Amino acid sequence: MQDMGLVSMSPTAKKDHNRLTGSIPKKNILNQNFTAERPNQIWVSDITCYKLKGKHYYIAVILDLFSQKVIAHRTSTVASTKLIAASFREAYAERTPDDGLIFHSDRGTQYASQSFQQLLLSCHAEQSFSRTGRPHDNAVAESFFASLKREELYRRNYRSVAEFRQAVDDYITFYNTKRPHRTLNYKCPDEMERGPAAQPIQKK
């Protein structure tokens, strides 16, 4: 090994790397309690894949748990940390949440990456993860994708990528502004965010 310039790798290298870089413990803060008292208290996120003309496209979404509104979404050919980070930055710039925001997702490598964890820390957000192999721990985001596929993606044959992307945008607009939700007493997300429960309490 010396003659060839090779160096053995310690079996604890990954553990040492996580310790030195301060990897954040993967806590499940929600524990399937999918309620929020106000907007921008808890956001949930997920990625799904759709195959079009032999190529995979990844859709990332972030939803506000209070209203179940899709507050950011991106589509890409790569399911990368960059895709999630761009979605989060879009939502953060638009919504300007207070410190203490909880961001919940599954344990995908995109969400667990050090760069994304550091992004959340810089925004004073606390990260929450589903348990391994428990999709119901992220049921709100999973439910959105089930609706998107059942009500839009699986009903049409898209002639182009542009048509597919436009369909995703149009469905999310419909989902936020018109589609009633049983869990919201048959209101749409925008109605929830305009309602009295969403308004901040005025200090006397």
Query: What are the structural domains of the chain?
Result: 36-182 (3.30.420.10)
CA–CA distance, 192 with 147 (Å, rounded to integer):
19
Tokens at 145, concatenated? 């994708």
pLDDT above 60 for 102: yes
DSSP SS3 for 51: strand
- Fill in the DSSP letter of residue 181: B
pLDDT value at position 113? Answer: 95
Which residue's entry shows tokens 């604890």? 12
Express each pLDDT in 33-63 by its tens digit.
999 999 999 999 999 999 999 999 999 999 9
**Taking residues 137-147, what's their average pLDDT?**
96
Would you say residue 20 has pLDDT above 80?
A: no
The reported pLDDT for the residue numbered 154 is 95
* Local confidence band at 13 (pLDDT 50, 70, 90 cut-offs): low
- Mean per-residue pLDDT of the chain: 88
Share of the chain above pLDDT 90, in %: 79
Contacts of 2 (CB under 8 A, 6+ apart): none
Instruction: Assess whether pLDDT exceeds 70 at residue 16.
Output: no
CA atoms within 13 A on the CB side of 93: 7
pTM given for the model = 0.84
Residue 122 identity = S
What's the rounded Cα separation, in Å, for the pair 38 and 121?
A: 21
pLDDT at residue number 133? 87
| Pairing mode of beta strands 69-76, 102-105 | unpaired
